[in-house]
């Protein structure tokens, strides 16, 4: 019943698999349905899965000691999400990973991923590529936060990710961009010509 076509296509963009390798890969996956506002990762618990978004939208965030939320990542269709520090090091999570919409995830657990890389070494290349891309994106985001104004960060985000900007709640987008929902409202109103 599970349709793994999209994740198989995602993998095929990075590595080529034989039919047997693809079958083995798929045998290690599981499909999970997550309701809006449901968590798949919470601080204090070790993150057991790397999650690929088949449909829906997710966000990863932390809450600081002043009870402020800081969104560190979004994930929509064809993107991955997790608390990577917890997942990779198998230690307690620091992030919440929450569904922003009803979502269907395809997941691989940590032990299955390790076995997959041992059994089919080209998956080491696959996970290295997606990790490198995530690291490069994260560095770009940090540099943007350090060097650009709030308005420039907002413009850059909606230009690159218009579908996310229209799908995620304003409070989540504001916390991702590093300002309050009220400030985001002012930027949006200024952009649309409202006073």
In a domain, 137, yes or no: no
In a domain, 94, yes or no: yes
In a domain, 143, yes or no: no
Q: What is Dmax (Cα atoms) for the chain?
A: 61
Give me the phi and psi of 35, to 5 degrees please.
-80, 155
The total of structural domains in the chain comes to 1
- State the pLDDT at residue 194: 56
Residue ranges making up the domain that contains 44: 5-121
In a domain, 189, yes or no: no
In a domain, 180, yes or no: no
In a domain, 160, yes or no: no
Instruction: Report the CATH number that the domain containing residue 108 is assigned in CATH.
Output: 2.60.120.10
In a domain, 11, yes or no: yes
Full strand arrangement of the beta sheet holding 49-55: 29-34, 103-109, 49-55, 80-81
**pLDDT tens figures, 111-146:** 999 999 999 999 999 999 999 999 999 999 999 989
Using 70 as the pLDDT threshold, list the residues of the chain that sit under it: 1-2, 194-195
Q: d(Cα 158, Cα 149) in Å, to the nearest integer?
A: 14
Give the pair of three-digit tokens for residue 71. 């969104």
Residue 172 contacts residue 71 (beta carbons within 8 Å):
yes
């Amino acid at each position: 019943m599970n349709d793994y076509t999209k994740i198989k296509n995602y993998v095929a963009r990075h590595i080529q698999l034989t039919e047997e390798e693809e079958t083995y890969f798929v045998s290690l996956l599981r499909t999970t349905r997550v309701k809006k506002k449901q968590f798949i990762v919470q601080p204090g618990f070790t993150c057991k899965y790397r999650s690929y978004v088949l449909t829906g939208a997710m966000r990863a965030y932390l809450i600081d000691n002043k009870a402020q939320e800081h969104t560190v990542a979004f994930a929509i269709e064809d993107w991955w999400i997790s608390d990577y520090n917890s997942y990779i090091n198998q230690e307690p999570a620091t992030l919440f990973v929450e569904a922003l919409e009803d979502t269907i995830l395809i997941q691989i657990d940590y032990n299955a991923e390790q076995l997959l890389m041992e059994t089919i070494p080209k998956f080491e290349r696959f996970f290295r590529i997606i990790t490198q891309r995530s690291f490069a994106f994260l560095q770009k985001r940090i540099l943007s936060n350090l060097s650009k104004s709030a308005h420039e960060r907002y413009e850059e985000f909606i230009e690159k990710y218009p579908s996310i900007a229209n799908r995620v709640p304003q409070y989540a987008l504001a916390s991702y961009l590093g300002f309050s929902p009220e400030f985001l409202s002012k930027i949006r109103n200024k952009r649309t010509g409202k006073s």
